[in-house]
Amino acid sequence: MKRNPVTLKIFAMIVMTDLGESIAEIFFKKGLLETGINSVNFGNILEFLSRNSSSALVWLGIAVYIVNFFIWITVLSRIDLSIAFPVGSTSYIFIPVFSMIFLGEDVGPERWLGIALIVAGIHFVSKSSHKRDGDR
């Protein structure tokens, strides 16, 4: 496949999909918490499905995923998957921040260190897309 660099526009689209995915996950989690069902097993699967299928937050999360799908296929039509997917790891940054803000979750220093390493990896993968085939 032709190697295309990660332009600012493509990077912004990737970050948009990660932001959307993170928001959708928060909607899913808050929607699931509203049901009052703490665990799912064969005994309560129908009740779980029924309660969650009527949750506006769950449906909002699904809608965000549908929009994300169209943005993501646009990204994939322009750059290699081996570049797009690692660069698209910014959701590893958004999820902990949103979880702290909207769900009251605790994110400790070890997790932040791991997130910093992921950010470094995103940087290196993004930069590798700018090399020409002859530069390797």
Residue 2 within any structural domain of the chain: no
Query: How many independent structural domains does the chain possess?
Result: 1
Residue 3 lies inside a defined structural domain of this protein? no
- Answer whether residue 19 is part of any domain: yes
- pLDDT score at 39: 78
Mean pLDDT per 10-residue interval, the chain, length 136 residues: 76 93 94 82 85 90 96 93 82 91 93 89 72 50
Q: Give pLDDT, residue 129.
A: 60
Residue 1 domain flag: no
For 67, the domain range is 8-135
Is the whole model's pTM more than 0.95, yes or no? Answer: no
Query: Is 112 a member of any domain?
Result: yes
Quick one: the chain helix, strand, coil %, rounded to 5?
75, 0, 25
Check if the beta carbon of residue 82 is closer than 8 Å to that of residue 89: no
- pLDDT of res. 7: 86
